[in-house]
Amino acid sequence: MTDFDSICEILGELYLNYKEDEDLKNFMEFNDVGLPLAYLVAENLCKASNDGIKFITDTWLLFLQDLGLEDEGFETLDQILGNPDDIEQIEEVPFEEQHLIDIEVLDEEQK
């Protein structure tokens, strides 16, 4: 189970780095209180009241649900979304080395 401080750090980072992301627009709009509140708590700019804790926790549960994940005690957003630096890069093949498959088109007599 992810601790509350980590939840705030993860949601705060999500809010800070992805608030303009078109793919997350609906999630960001629906969680317009929980996400910025998590950011403020993570940055020690405020303390969460009992209601604030509920908003943040509900946002966290929706986030995991949307991703189809169980709470496994996450510590970072990269653990959830994956770190792009860890993904093996696909080597781009120069145009001159690219080959197309020749497809023979049969006319009516050959069919």
Greater pLDDT, 98 or 29: 29
Q: How far apart are CA 50 and CA 46, in angstroms?
A: 13
Q: pLDDT tens digits for 32-75?
A: 999 999 999 999 999 999 999 999 999 999 999 999 999 999 99
pTM summary value: 0.73
CA 78 – CA 81 distance, rounded (Å): 5
- Residue 88: what pLDDT? 42
Sign, CA dihedral 24-29-30-36, equals positive
Instruction: Map out the domains of the chain as residue ranges.
Output: 4-83
If one compares 18 and 88, the residue with the highest pLDDT of the two is: 18
Measure the CA–CA gap between 91 and 63, rounded to whole angstroms. 33
